[in-house]
Amino acid sequence: MSDDKPVRSYSVFDISGKMLRNNNDVNANYLTIRRENLQNGMYLVQLRFDEGVLTKRVIFE
């Protein structure tokens, strides 16, 4: 992430595609997504920028 391309919003999905968390008002250069009640396993995190979307796999152990 860079200073000129802030994250506008993000979503967290389980591996089946169900949205578990969503925040449409981020507008930040750095992002911390708290695990909170998410169990161990693989998740997809979708970051939205003005320029497009980036989806990454995240594994909680």
pLDDT tens-place string over residues 2-48: 568 899 999 999 999 999 999 999 999 998 988 989 999 999 999 99
Question: Whole-prediction pTM value?
Answer: 0.85
- Is 31 among the domain residues? yes
- Is 52 among the domain residues? yes
- Is 22 among the domain residues? yes
- Is 16 among the domain residues? yes
Q: What is the domain count for the chain?
A: 1
pLDDT of residue 8: 96
- Is 54 among the domain residues? yes
**What is the spatial distance between Cα 9 and Cα 46, in angstroms, rounded to a whole number?**
8
| Residue-range definition of the domain harbouring residue 35 | 9-60
Buried/exposed 4-39: b ≥16 CB within 10 Å, e otherwise:
eeebbbbbbbeeeeeeeeeeeeeeeeeeeeeeeeee
- Is 37 among the domain residues? yes
- Is 1 among the domain residues? no
pLDDT of residue 3: 62
Whether the per-residue pLDDT at 1 is higher than 60: the answer is no
- Is 50 among the domain residues? yes
